[in-house]
Amino acid sequence: MPTSLFRRKAVEACQADADRSEHRLKRSLGVFSLTALGIGAVIGAGIFSSPGTAAAGGGSHVAAGPALVVSYLLVALACGFAALCYAEMASMVPVAGSAYTYAYVTLGEGLAWIIGWDLILEYAVGNVAVAVSWADYFKSLLAGLGLHLPGWLSTTIDHAQKTPGLLESAPHLFGVPIVLNLPAGLIVAVLTVLLVLGIQESARVNTGMVILKLVMVVGFIGVGAFYLRPENWTPFAPNGLHGILSGASLIFFAYIGFDAVSTTAEEANNPQRDIPRAMIATLGICTVLYAAVTLVLTGMVSWRDLGVGDPLAKALQSAGLQALAGILSFGAVVAMTAVLLVFQLGQPRIFMVMARDGLLPPWAARVHPRFRTPYITTILTGVFVGIPAMFVDINEAIEFTNIGTLFAFVLVSVGVIVLRRTDPDRPRPFRCPGVPYLPLLSIVSCGVLMAYLPFITWMRFLVWQVVGVLLYFLYGRRHSRLSASRAEEVTWTPTTNR
């Protein structure tokens, strides 16, 4: 096996790369802004859309029913284990790159490349799903205002094929119907421009949107509590543990994003202190909100009737609160916009760090001389997300995102155990408790959730991995900075440091 797969990058080298003037990002984020970024990434489709499908079931997933609240708590527990592992790594290696960087300093270049490749699933592919969901809520909001986009200009080909007469009414080019989800592409384009202009400006916009959507969520809980019907909670778990775990594997998407905070480490004022605090605060706040919303939602409406894209609005409508349902649709649009913003922020920074290491072309590491943002990779991410968002189905994107993120969580947890053994004396401003047992719990819990994903998702994931490995051997392995400069290389094999 090539030794390049196990060569590790020194933590000091990671910090030196971040401090180089041509790569340096602007430090301007405190713990409040970082927590707002985390909440902005997490509170989105997972609270405004996913609870309906997970509770009612559908496709390859069986219904969780009112026990969906248990699904949320189980996923929160799994993510909590992973978050503590992320927090230790982020405090030790306070640079951008998230799980990719952590894998590089602990597990070696080969696994670092794989995890960087998988993070594309979490951020870029995940944002495709969010953009599609945003477009659905945006169309609902326009409809509430009496405005309607042409069907062929606001849907995907998959949905158009299931809608009688839609393909026939669409314009044709060389005999092929033109069908696209234009709103999904446009919102990605707008946010890409904002992210190029600067991190501080983006953070301010995000904070405003987070405050607004928290008001919406808390308002739904407060109002909905007066319209509860306890009989709707019976049976509580219609499909038992199988339904709960099936729901958990689907709504895991709801928690994706807390780790996006770690991608901004080079823009945090005090990353060793603030990044761990922000990630843990994000997870705690969002878990309480998810549990409360799920209980109120399934108490207002029978879980059997929640298989819709806007379950919270449906619950308010069933209570005769039409005006509030319309306001909630506006809140959902704001919530999805914040999620898109944070995910679009994270992906370019991972590309940037991989390029600094030589695993991607050098132009991907360029920082704008005025705005101090990774503008080339930000624009490319906008293209890679915006174009597919106009054509793909949301459910496939969500499942593909989940498996890539879970795998990243597993590798970060392994990294904590490895680094405790290979570099026990390195300062750790935040220490994950209960090592190695808590990281092992993270690995097992993430593995269980992965096991409940559909077989087709596993097959697509394996194909994705094969493509990534080929790219590494064709380009990354030969252009790696560790390969070009042996003085920077640290070799590690499974028999080292025993």
20-29, 66-75, 425-434: least confident range? 20-29
The answer to the question of residue 496 being in a domain is no
Give how many domains the chain has, as a whole number.
1
The answer to the question of residue 240 being in a domain is yes
For residue range 374-433, list pLDDT tens digits in order.
Answer: 899 999 999 989 998 888 766 666 667 778 888 888 988 998 999 899 888 888 888 999
Return the C-alpha torsion angle 127, 91, 367, 379, nearest 10: 0
Question: Taking the CB of residue 247, how many other CB atoms lie within 10 A of it?
Answer: 34
Cβ-contact 68, 51 below 8 angstroms: yes
Confidence of residue 161 (pLDDT cuts 50, 70, 90): low
H/E segment holding residue 8: strand 7-8
Q: pLDDT at position 491, please?
A: 40
For residue range 169-204, list pLDDT tens digits in order.
Answer: 777 777 777 788 889 899 999 999 988 887 777 778
The answer to the question of residue 452 being in a domain is yes
**φ, ψ at 172 (rounded to 5°):** -120, 145
Q: pLDDT at position 158, please?
A: 65
The answer to the question of residue 498 being in a domain is no
**What's the domain range around 405?**
3-491
Those residues with Cβ within 8 angstroms of residue 462's Cβ, 6 or more apart along the chain or in another chain: none
The answer to the question of residue 387 being in a domain is yes
Q: For tokens 């527990």, what's the residue?
A: 77
Most confident of 48-57, 73-82, 133-142, 302-311: 73-82
For residue range 203-253, list pLDDT tens digits in order.
Answer: 788 888 888 889 999 999 999 999 999 999 999 999 999 899 888 877 887
CA–CA distance, 76 with 248 (Å, rounded to integer)? 10
Please calculate the CA angle 209-183-165 and round it to the nearest 5 degrees. 140
The answer to the question of residue 497 being in a domain is no
Answer whether residue 153 shows pLDDT above 80: no
- Residue 390 exposure: Cα atoms within 13 Å on the Cβ side: 17
Question: Taking the CB of residue 90, how many other CB atoms lie within 10 A of it?
Answer: 30
Which residue would you say has higher pLDDT here, 96 or 410? 410
Cβ-contact 132, 181 below 8 angstroms: yes
Which residue would you say has higher pLDDT here, 294 or 57? 294
Question: Taking the CB of residue 218, how many other CB atoms lie within 10 A of it?
Answer: 13
Q: What percent of the chain has pLDDT over 70?
A: 90
> How is residue 200 written in tokens?
């501080």
0.85 exceeded by the pTM? no
CA–CA distance, 239 with 360 (Å, rounded to integer)? 47
> How is residue 312 written in tokens?
């919270």
The answer to the question of residue 45 being in a domain is yes
Strand-pairing partners, residue 29, are: 268
CA–CA distance, 117 with 473 (Å, rounded to integer)? 13
Q: What is the CATH number of the domain that holds 448?
A: 1.20.1740.10
The answer to the question of residue 439 being in a domain is yes
Q: For tokens 């496939």, what's the residue?
A: 396
